[in-house]
Amino acid sequence: METLATLRDLQATLRDLTTIQRELSDLPPDVAVLDGRVKTATKFMAEKNRARETAQLQIQAKTKDLALAQKEEDRAREAVKATSQKVHYASAIRELDEKERTKAGIARPLKALEAMVQVLDKALAGLEAERSAAQAQFDELHAVFLDEHANQVEGRKLLLAKQSELEAKLPPVEVARFHRMAAARQGRVVVPVEGGACTGCRVKLRGPLFADLKEGKILITCESCQRILFLP
């Protein structure tokens, strides 16, 4: 059956890909250290950028509040100037005092936020320098590593092409189901039946199912573990 053959081929292709992928990600210690440095710096940069964004939003809001507070303070100051009667003057002064305090209460945290953004910018610049230096060293050494593993690199290219080719022959739902099961069952999705039992879960097949399998007209899955079955 065409589908079964394609699925078995796909399984073998993915197994070979996993092996090659493992060899290609088994970096020499010095290269692995650089890879780790790049990843760590990238992670810290993302954190600091998030903190910076939050601070910027707060700055925007507080800047608006400050402008409003400034207007109120100006109005209160004008009121003081315009007042000639002593009794009104005292209350206008109190009002101005209060408006000044409100403005200071906004200006202080705003200043702190602006200082924080400056600190974050400095940290980000340092991290970017660290990241790009580590990345440059990594790229250099990794290119040497890949040169030394040219066979695997070529093999991976061929296997990936084969994977696409095989997947194109199958209905997309079948491909999705295959990958889901492969992830859950360590890549063993299509398994042989031996001694009348599924070799994936050791459960014996019911008679009618075994007969269908022998007939080989439709795709048979194990009733116990859902793996796809074939007779070797």
Please select the residue that binds Zn ion; options are 193, 198, 205, 228, rule is CB under 5 A: 198
Q: Output the smallest distance, CB 217 to Zn ion, in A.
A: 20
- Quote the strand ranges of the chain, DSSP E: 190-194, 197-198, 228-230
> In the complex, what is the shortest distance from the CB of residue 220 to Zn ion, in angstroms, rounded to a whole number?
11
Enumerate residues 6+ apart whose C-beta is below 8 A from 145.
27, 28, 31
State the nearest-atom distance from the C-beta of 223 to Zn ion, in Å: 8
Region from 80-88, 146-154, 190-198, 206-214 binding Zn ion, contact rule CB under 5 A: 190-198
Among 200, 205, 213, 220, binds Zn ion (CB under 5 A): 200
CA distances from 188 to 7, 58, 182, 223 (A): 11, 53, 6, 16
The Cα–Cα gap between 31 and 137 comes to: 8
Give me the residue label for tokens 């945290």: 109
Q: At what angle do helices 150-169 and 86-148 cross, to 10 degrees?
A: 100
CB of 184 to Zn ion, least distance (A): 13
123 scored as a contact of Zn ion (CB under 5 A): no
**x/- map, 68-107, Zn ion, by CB under 5 A:** ----------------------------------------
Q: Is 201 an interacting residue with respect to Zn ion (CB under 5 A)?
A: yes
Strand partners, 228: 190, 221
- Contacts by 43-47, CB closer than 8 A, 24 or more apart: 44/127, 45/124, 45/127, 45/128, 45/131
Is residue 46 classed as helix, strand or coil in its secondary structure? Answer: helix
Q: Kindly state the smallest distance separating residue 34's Cβ from Zn ion, in Å.
A: 44
- Segment 204 to 223, residues that bind Zn ion, using CB under 5 A: 222
State the minimum distance, in angstroms, from the CB of residue 202 to Zn ion: 7
What distance in Å separates the CA atoms of residue 41 and residue 127, rounded to the nearest whole number?
6
Of the pair 34, 189, the CB lying nearest Zn ion is at 189
Query: How many residues contact Zn ion, by CB under 5 A?
Result: 6
Among 42, 102, 137, 224, binds Zn ion (CB under 5 A): 224
CB nearer Zn ion, residue 21 or residue 224 = 224
Chain contacts with Zn ion (rule: CB under 5 A): 198, 200-201, 222, 224-225
